[in-house]
């Protein structure tokens, strides 16, 4: 497994942040994107927690995938990966509770939700499909998480205002939020085709 | 057990996509053609029925502290089965849905129904709940697919009818490409949900008027 150059890693980082943004371009993790975006602070907390778990899960699942390949059990990928993610979330939760209580307090409520965030399982499956090496997997995971944070914070800040705005009765709440997200996605299509190096 | 009520809840009043707002990722991501929508809808329905039945059958055995983990493993098992079957028998569909088939594992409709319904009700009721919720999901997905495909690509039934090309309704060059892009997913789903809220409110007021007239 050859490791990628610094430039290629930077390329992965930029594309995961902007042109291939996990939420607005690839549609991973829409549920938390819609659910936890009513306030900027909670959106930021969720984003940070997701970034952390995504990077950790990418690293762990890279090792697990090697093991599965060695045992030629690749068809068990989905089952094993989701178990790994669920246990990582659990361990992170327990670790933070003991070691960094302040961070735990800030992220506490969001941690259990992350298991069913499809961005995490999505990034792990993409890593395996693309055949990324260890470093590339971790960078892709972390950058995907940062892209998630960027989108959810931007969206939350728009949404705080949209909620107070006057709109037709039947659009109130969720539909107008979806349309706002659509416009945000439209802005992000401006980044498509952006290639560095 | 009230089959009629369950059917109505699955399709309309508690439609998983339009009312409960579950399973957004797959609804937005793959709703670009009728073929994708039907394929995804049927795959989810089958998995939902199987997982509902098994979880309901095991509901007294699974300790409540670890129930979520147990549900996820059961669901992941069925998803793997469907994923492998699709790869073997419908490779085109498998390719076009891509990573969103394994991602059915974390589709909140399935875990949501397991937690809200199958863990509390009998096997037969859970089977029907899975079937009706699955049909409700498929229905909403197909509506979004048809709109996006018609406006975005100008065709109907792409990948399915007319030798896979679909029936062309809007001449080439006119359709708004953006609607089959991610942007269109958000916009179309927003309008579809707004439309359904509007209709449901109308039905409700009509019902109330009728009762008041009595």
Q: φ, ψ for residue B158 (rounded to 5)?
A: -60, 140
pLDDT at residue B57 in the model: 93
Contact B181 A189 (CB under 8 A): yes
Residues 143-172 of chain A whose Cβ lies under 8 A from any Cβ of chain B: 168-171
Q: How far apart are CA B68 and CA B114, in angstroms?
A: 9
pLDDT at residue B213 in the model: 81
Asked whether the beta carbons of A130 and B122 are under 8 A apart, the reply is: no
- Residue B126 CA, chain-centre distance (Å), reads 17
For residue A186, give how far its alpha carbon lies from the nearest alpha carbon of chain B (Å).
Answer: 5
Asked whether the predicted pLDDT for residue A5 surpasses 80, the reply is: no
Is the pTM higher than 0.90?
no
Asked whether the predicted pLDDT for residue B20 surpasses 60, the reply is: yes
pLDDT at residue B126 in the model: 92
Residue B175, sorted as left (phi over 0), alpha (psi -120 to 50) or beta, turns out to be beta
**Best residue of A22, A82, A124, A144 to probe chain B, by most B CBs closer than 10 Å:** A82
pLDDT at residue A99 in the model: 82
- Is some CB atom of chain A closer than 8 A to the CB atom of B87? no
- Is some CB atom of chain B closer than 8 A to the CB atom of A187? no
- Is some CB atom of chain A closer than 8 A to the CB atom of B149? no
pLDDT at residue A142 in the model: 92
Asked whether the predicted pLDDT for residue A21 surpasses 50, the reply is: yes
Tell me the DSSP string of A78-141.
Answer: HHHHHHHHHHHHHHHHHHHHHH-HHHHHHHGGGTGGGGG-HHHHHHHHHHHHHT--HHHHHHHH
What mean pLDDT, rounded, does chain B reach?
Answer: 86
Among the partner residues B182, B184, B195, nearest to A25 by beta-carbon distance: B182
Question: Shortest CA distance to A137 belongs to which of A195, A196, A57, A67?
Answer: A57
- Is some CB atom of chain A closer than 8 A to the CB atom of B186? yes
Asked whether the predicted pLDDT for residue A197 surpasses 60, the reply is: no
Q: How far apart are CA A50 and CA A136, in angstroms?
A: 18
Contact A175 B79 (CB under 8 A): no
pLDDT at residue B95 in the model: 87
Kindly state the average pLDDT of the residues A143-149: 92
Q: φ, ψ for residue B14 (rounded to 5)?
A: -125, 35
Asked whether the predicted pLDDT for residue A109 surpasses 70, the reply is: no
B184 to chain A: closest CA residue:
A182
Question: Shortest CA distance to B20 belongs to which of B30, B9, B6, B31?
Answer: B9
Going by C-beta distance under 8 Å and a sequence separation of 6 or more, which residues neighbour residue B134? B10, B41, B44, B45, B46, B48, B49
- Is some CB atom of chain B closer than 8 A to the CB atom of A129? yes
**Binning pLDDT at 50, 70 and 90, where does residue A1 land?**
very low
Q: How far apart are CA B192 and CA B18, in angstroms?
A: 8
Q: 10 Å Cβ neighbour count for A121?
A: 27
Contact A175 B197 (CB under 8 A): yes
Contact A169 B201 (CB under 8 A): yes
Contact B28 A27 (CB under 8 A): yes
Residues 69-108 of chain A whose Cβ lies under 8 A from any Cβ of chain B: 75-79, 82-83, 86
pLDDT tens-digit series, residues B87-121: 999 888 888 888 888 888 888 888 888 888 888 88
Tell me the DSSP string of B127-191.
Answer: HHHHHHHHHHHHHHHHHHHHHHHHHHTSEESTTTSGGGT-EE-SPTT-S-GGGGSHHHHHHHHHH
- Is some CB atom of chain B closer than 8 A to the CB atom of A19? no
- Residue B125 CA, chain-centre distance (Å), reads 19
Kindly state the average pLDDT of the residues A76-98: 86
pLDDT at residue B88 in the model: 92
Kindly state the average pLDDT of the residues B164-192: 80
For residue A195, give how far its alpha carbon lies from the nearest alpha carbon of chain B (Å).
Answer: 19
B70 to chain A: closest CA residue:
A83
Asked whether the predicted pLDDT for residue B55 surpasses 50, the reply is: yes
- Is some CB atom of chain A closer than 8 A to the CB atom of B182? yes
B178 to chain A: closest CA residue:
A186
Using an 8 Å CB-CB cutoff, list chain B residues near A168. 194
B73 to chain A: closest CA residue:
A79
Asked whether the predicted pLDDT for residue A2 surpasses 60, the reply is: no
Kindly state the average pLDDT of the residues B68-78: 89
pLDDT tens-digit series, residues B122-133: 899 999 999 999
Q: 10 Å Cβ neighbour count for A49?
A: 28
For residue A26, give how far its alpha carbon lies from the nearest alpha carbon of chain B (Å).
Answer: 7
- What are the CA-CA distances from residue A99 to residues A111, A113, A115, B206 (Å)? 15, 21, 21, 59
């Amino acid at each position: 497994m050859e490791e990628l150059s610094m430039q290629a890693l930077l390329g992965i980082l930029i594309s995961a942040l902007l042109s291939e943004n996990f939420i607005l371009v690839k549609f991973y993790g829409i549920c938390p994107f819609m659910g936890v975006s009513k306030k900027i602070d909670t959106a930021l907390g969720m984003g940070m927690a997701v970034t952390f778990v995504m990077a950790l899960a990418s690293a762990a699942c890279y090792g697990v995938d090697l093991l599965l390949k060695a045992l030629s059990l690749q068809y068990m990928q989905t089952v094993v990966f989701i178990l790994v993610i669920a246990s990582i979330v659990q361990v992170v939760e327990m670790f933070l509770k003991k070691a960094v209580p302040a961070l735990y307090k800030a992220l506490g409520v969001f941690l259990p939700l992350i298991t069913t965030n499809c961005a995490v399982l999505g990034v792990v499956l993409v890593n395996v499909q693309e055949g990324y090496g260890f470093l590339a997997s971790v960078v892709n995971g972390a950058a995907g998480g940062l892209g998630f944070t960027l989108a959810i914070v931007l969206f939350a800040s728009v949404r705080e205002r949209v909620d107070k705005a006057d709109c037709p009765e039947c659009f109130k709440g969720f539909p107008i939020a979806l349309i706002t997200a659509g416009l945000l996605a439209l802005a992000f299509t401006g980044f498509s085709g952006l290639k560095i190096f | 057990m009230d089959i009629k009520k369950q059917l109505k809840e699955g399709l309309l009043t508690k439609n998983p996509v339009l009312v409960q707002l579950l399973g957004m990722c797959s609804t937005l991501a793959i709703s670009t053609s009728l073929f994708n929508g039907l394929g995804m809808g049927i795959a989810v329905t089958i998995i939902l029925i199987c997982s509902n039945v098994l979880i309901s059958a095991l509901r007294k055995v699974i300790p409540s502290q670890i129930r979520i983990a147990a549900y996820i493993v059961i669901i992941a098992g069925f998803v793997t089965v469907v994923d492998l079957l699709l790869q073997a028998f419908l490779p085109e569909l498998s390719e076009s849905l891509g990573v969103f088939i394994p991602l059915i594992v974390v589709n909140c409709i399935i875990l949501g129904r397991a937690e809200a319904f199958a863990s509390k009700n009998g096997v037969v009721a859970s089977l029907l709940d899975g079937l009706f919720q699955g049909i409700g999901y498929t229905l909403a997905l197909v509506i979004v697919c048809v709109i996006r495909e018609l406006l975005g690509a100008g065709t109907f039934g792409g990948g399915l009818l007319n030798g896979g090309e679909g029936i062309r309704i809007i001449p080439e060059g006119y359709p708004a490409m953006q609607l089959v892009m991610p942007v269109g997913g958000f916009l179309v789903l927003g309008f579809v949900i707004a439309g359904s809220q509007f209709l449901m409110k109308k039905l409700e007021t009509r019902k109330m008027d009728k009762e008041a007239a009595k």
